[in-house]
Structure 1
Amino acid sequence: MIHFFAFKRLRHRIIFAFTILLVVSLLANSLLAIWQVIQQSQEDYQVSVHQKMELLDHHIHYYAQNIASNTRMLAEFPLIREADQRITSYKNTQSSEGLLPMRPMQGDPYEQEVYQILKTFQESHDSVKNASLGVEANGGFVMHPPRPRFNHYDARERQWYQKALESPGEVVISEIYTTSSGEKVVLCVMTVFDEKDQLRGVITVDFDLEALSNMLTDTTIGSSGYAMLTDSTGSILAYPDQPEVVGKSLEDIGLGSLLQGETLKEQTIDTFFYQDQSYRIQVSPSTLAEFPLFYISFIHTSEFYQSGWILSQKLLLSAFFLLLFSMLLAYWLSGQLTNSLGKLREFADQLAEGNLSQRLSLTDQDEIGQLAQRFNEMASAIEKSQKELESKVKERTSALSSTNHQLQETNEELQQTVVLLKNTQDQLIQSEKLAGLSTLVAGLAHEINTPLGGSISMASYLEHQMQQLLKDIEAEALDQHEFDQYMLRLQDSVQVLLRNLHRSSDLIQHFKQVAVDHRREEKRSFYVKPYVEETLLGFQQLLKAGNHQLTLDCEEQLSIHSFPGALSQIIAILTQNALEHGFADREGGSIHLSFQKQDHRLILTYSDDGKGMSEAVKSRIFEPFFTTARHRGSIGLGLHILYNLLMLQLKGDVVVESHPEQGTIFHLIWEP
């Protein structure tokens, strides 16, 4: 990967940064646009499926009305309304084989005429599989096409006959069922009354489902999607262009997973592999009251990404021309900038060589022009300063005296600060609510005394040197070499003084950081184990160097809603404390970390087999600035910070178990 600073010229860096920024922006916007197009495509397809299913419901509704009207037409045929005992098929006859063949053309002339009517009706309607008439007078039965029936067959005892009697004068459409020949049909029945409203029998018509398959064949979803029709148990009623599938179950064609128990439920599966293809499957119930139907629509998932692919090609072409134009623009702008910067560099080189009479001729009113003007002013000031160098020796001496006076005032202010901190400590000790802060102040006062003492000593030395320098100047007994020596000693002294003051400032800043600002970090949900493992990566080299072993016992899926930064800092403090104190001057130690969640509380158990602690040390480990290793540079704030994090930010508690040479155990408990 090309590093940004691998380009030595500023112009190349500007072009590279501008190009990367543009590419990242284009890529992010393109991906967002493609994702939105894909999402919109899925929504559009879902709307299309809903509209197609509504249209199919509409067609099936008219199909059901057509079935009802045909059945009513047959039931109201004048000859049918005269049905009586003249229809004798199956009546008072029996066969040794148990099944009676139907021979309507050998019966009464009336029965023959009825049979011809049923035959004409059935043959003139492609969707009609069977047409029959059951007689109320004697239970006779005639149908076309004729089929054998069992001995003593009485139409009045059949379930379809009883169903028609429950709704006299109305067409009753049954649920879709399977005939004895394995065909899926819809049975329509209607009572037959004569002109005097006397019950004469029940007419039945069986309609096949081929028309439904034709409807599905004519219904397409997208460019290659299709739909099948099933009942609530998953039995296939209609399938486009594959009539051999009709009558099978979803399990038979590899779609049994769509069933929930033994019935279908409304559902949507975004990605479903069927017949080596990836589909988006949507199961939708029909809204028809006549039939409990389900539509299963199949849409190839590639159709969702087709519009995204077309858009990506257009975006890629647009991005290429935009990137080309932007690079040319960046090249021109960077050239304007670097040319002016080159002149500034040449001018700076001449100044470094001592040529103070040179001046820049840039007249631009932008920032570069203003910088050139400042360079010219700087050159003039340096030239003037060079000529007035000797006359400013006394002024510098006076300035050093003034600086020394200011340093003395600063030392006095720091001493007053120490006194104020000690007074504050006395006041805090008397307050139960702020008792812990008194220890912090006392520790800070103790730590800051050393650099402050050095600062006072060095200030006294500076005062003595300044007085001696003034005496030598007044006595005119100072040559250039002695003056330079004075300057060197003063410079070294000031540097030592500044280091002590910086050390004091660092201690004060460290003291400020001890208090945990629990509002600095927001809570979030995260997995504990990977987060702790990432924290422990920084200690691998130290553990390896001391031949120490660290084990982590935590469930992979343990997740909490807490402050991850606080947990990371607690783990780091415990590990660092073990390396610096528990395993000091020894190798081959063991550390064990365990996380358990009990009753909405998280329990962190830390244990090691290090040196352990006495009761006196254990009672003070959470005090600020308390340490047993100050000779190794420790300042004693680690466990104090841990205590503040746990008590103030995590609202938890800690229990410590330790004995000399028996290791240490920390139990940290909080409710995430």
Structure 2
Amino acid sequence: MVDEKNNANIISETHTWANVLAKNSRHFINSSDANNQHKLKNELRKSITTGLINRVHIYRLNEDGAIEYFSSYNKNHTFPAIGDKIGKISQLRTVHFEEDYIELIVEITDDERLLGYLFIQSSLLEKQAFIKQLIYIALAFLLFTNLVVFAVSTWLFNKITQPMATLIDDVEQISQSKNYQLELASQPYKELDILAKNINILLRRTHKYIDKIIDEQQYSVFQKQALEHRLNTRTEALKESNQELLSTLEKLHEFQGQLVETEKMASLGDMVAGIAHEINTPIGLGVTASSLLADRLHEIKFAFENKTLKSSQLKKFLMDGDENALIILRNLERAANLISSFKKVAVDQSSAESRTFNVNTLINEVLLTLSTKIRTAKIDILINCPDALYINSKPGAINQILINLILNSIHHAFDGIDNGKVTITIAILAGQLHINYKDNGTGIEESMRSKIFEPFTTTKRGSGGSGLGMHLVYNLVTQALDGYITVEEAPTHGVSFDITFPVAIPATEEK
């Protein structure tokens, strides 16, 4: 790569000298002076100041077009003469390389008129020798410079590294001892002294930071101990609270059982109040009729004793007495039926025993005991039940379920609604009794429907509702009767309860 670059420089320089010399030769070729050849040779010797050019030939173009030798230049007398290059003009128009030199022929012109040719030969050895000399000088200078730099760097190294080594040793000692209260001594050089001061600042900050961390750790330990103490205290308090809560929960379960029993007695009390009201009417009518009959009997007795008794008076007494006796009999029979129905219902509710009974009769007895409330609420109850359906089950649980469902409709579904309607459908299928209880009341809100069977769930909070009626129904169905109950909105309006539980069908139905 270096040789190519050097050759390119020699070629460029050869072209430049060839053009300059050709231009300087025009005057001598055009002149008719006989000494022009000698003058041109002297001119070439004076003009060529470089050792690059070995030889120069000047060839003149005669009027007849022939080319003849005119003048020349030779670097020194030791160079042997060479033959003319007239026969190689066309070949040497471009640079021609030989082993130690290059050759080139250029035209000599004057206003685009060809006067002749200039042949120039440049040495390759001269430039290469000069370049080698420069390289040797550069290498020698580089070696000298390296020696000087090495000597200076060694001196500077010995001068500078000693305090730096001392500084490093001090830093290592501080690092190993972890005593960040120590400080580095002042340094002889400004830069090292600034570094030492900054390291001292860093050491002081590190010492403060470590002290801060130690204080925070001690505070954290203190906080942890306080937290553990507080946690232990609260754990003990929580244990005591849990124990109290368990005790309260047990009492609550007992109280809930008592409330359920109270709910049963409350529904029984409602029946007692209804029965008392129903019995009061026929008993009152019977008392009134018997009192009227006693008055008439006293009048007849007084007329008979005074011998003023008339046949018409006796006839009227007999007719009134017969009517009053019939009134007394009908009302006493009605009261007896009411007492009998209440007795059956009360006995069933107080007993968990299973027996064989007619389902239709059981439902009618329940309706009879609730007749006052049903009539006051102005609702119609439609019963769809086979007349001859006998089963063996627990009638007390069933009539308690029906009582609570009817009372729940009266108190909640038909509140503010006249002409309410309740439909009770009974069916027996595969040893299971299906009861569908449906009313056309206000229905149950979606938020209440999912927890209607939970205890103390009521929409009448603060208005006399205990929230245990439907919970009692759920317990009777699932526990006493071993069945299940579901609730859903009725297809039109109101609510629908589906109750299913297993029953036994007796071999011979009671008549």
Bigger Rg over Cα? 2
- Pick the TM interval, shorter chain: 0.3 to 0.5
Q: TM-score, normalised by structure 2?
A: 0.32
